[in-house]
Structure 1
C-alpha cells in the first residue's frame, strides 16, 4: 500500500480510486479506524452465521465513535449496531454467534485495550 500527497490532502492509493485522507475531504484516519472495526465485525458476523447455516439478511450496520477530550485525542469508544433479519427460531443461535465476534475479528484484536467496544444486535420484526 502507498500514501501520496498530491496537494494538502494525503491519498491512499487504490486500484479502484484513491481514498482521500483528510479531516476536510474524504475520511480522517480516526474515522477509518472506527469504520474498520465496524466493517471487520460485519464480515466476521456474516462468516460465523454462514458457517452455522443460519439464514439472515443484514439490513444495516451503523457505528459511532468518541475521542478522548485530552490531547492526543485517541479513540475512547466505538459503538457498533447491527440490524439483522433472522427467523425467530434462529435468533438465540444468532445471539450466541454475535458474542464470538471480538475473538474472531483481527481489527478488534488490534485495538488498544483502552478503546471500549460496544456491539449490539437488533432483530428486525
Structure 2
C-alpha cells in the first residue's frame, strides 16, 4: 500500500477503490474508526470460520460498537472498545458461546495485535 498526502489527510488506492483517511470525519475515515473496524471485522470473520468448523454455520453475525473510550492526552489513544455481537447459528447455545469467543480472540490477528494495550469487552446475544 502507498499513502499519499492530500489537503485533508491521506489516501490510498485499493483493489476496491480509494480509501480516504482524515482527522476530519467529513473528509474521510478517522484512523481510530479504521482500527475499530479492523478489530470488529476480524472478530466476525474468525468467528464465522470457527462456527463453520464446529458444524454450526452462522446465518448472521452482526457486531455493534457500543462504546469507544479514548484517552484525554494529546495522542487520544484507544483505551476501551465494547463490541456487542448478535449471532444466529444452528446449534449455538449460551453454554458454547464462551469457548467460541475465546477461540475467536485467540485466532483474530487484529485482536491479538492490540489485546495488551486496549481493553476490549465483548457481549453477545443469540437469536433464532
Q: TM-score, normalised by structure 2?
A: 0.85
CA distance in structure 2 between the aligned counterparts of 1:121 and 1:50, rounded to whole angstroms: 18
- Report the Cα distance in structure 1 between the residues aligned to 2:92 and 2:117, rounded to whole angstroms: 34
Where in structure 2 are the equivalents of 1:1-125 lying within 5 Å?
1-24=1-24, 25-63=27-65, 64-87=67-90, 89-91=91-93, 92-111=95-114, 113-125=116-128
Question: Per the alignment, do residues 3 and 118 of structure 1 end up closer, same or farther by CA in structure 2, a change over 3 Å counting?
Answer: same
Structure 2: where are the runs of 5+ without partners?
none
CA contact 2:80–2:119 (8 Å) conserved in 1: yes
Stretches (4+) displaced over 6 A: none
The structural deviation recorded for 1:69 is 1.3
- Alpha-carbon RMSD across the aligned residues, in angstroms, is 1.7
Judge which range, 67-76 or 57-66, deviates more. 57-66
Q: 1:7 to 1:71 in 2, by over 3 A?
A: closer
Residues 44 and 61 in structure 2, CA contact (< 8 A), matched pair in contact too:
no
Bigger proportion of residues as strand: 2
Using the size of structure 1 for normalisation, the TM-score is: 0.87
Larger deviation: 96-105 or 43-52?
96-105
2:61 and 2:52 mapped to 1: Cα distance? 16
Aligned pair count reads: 124
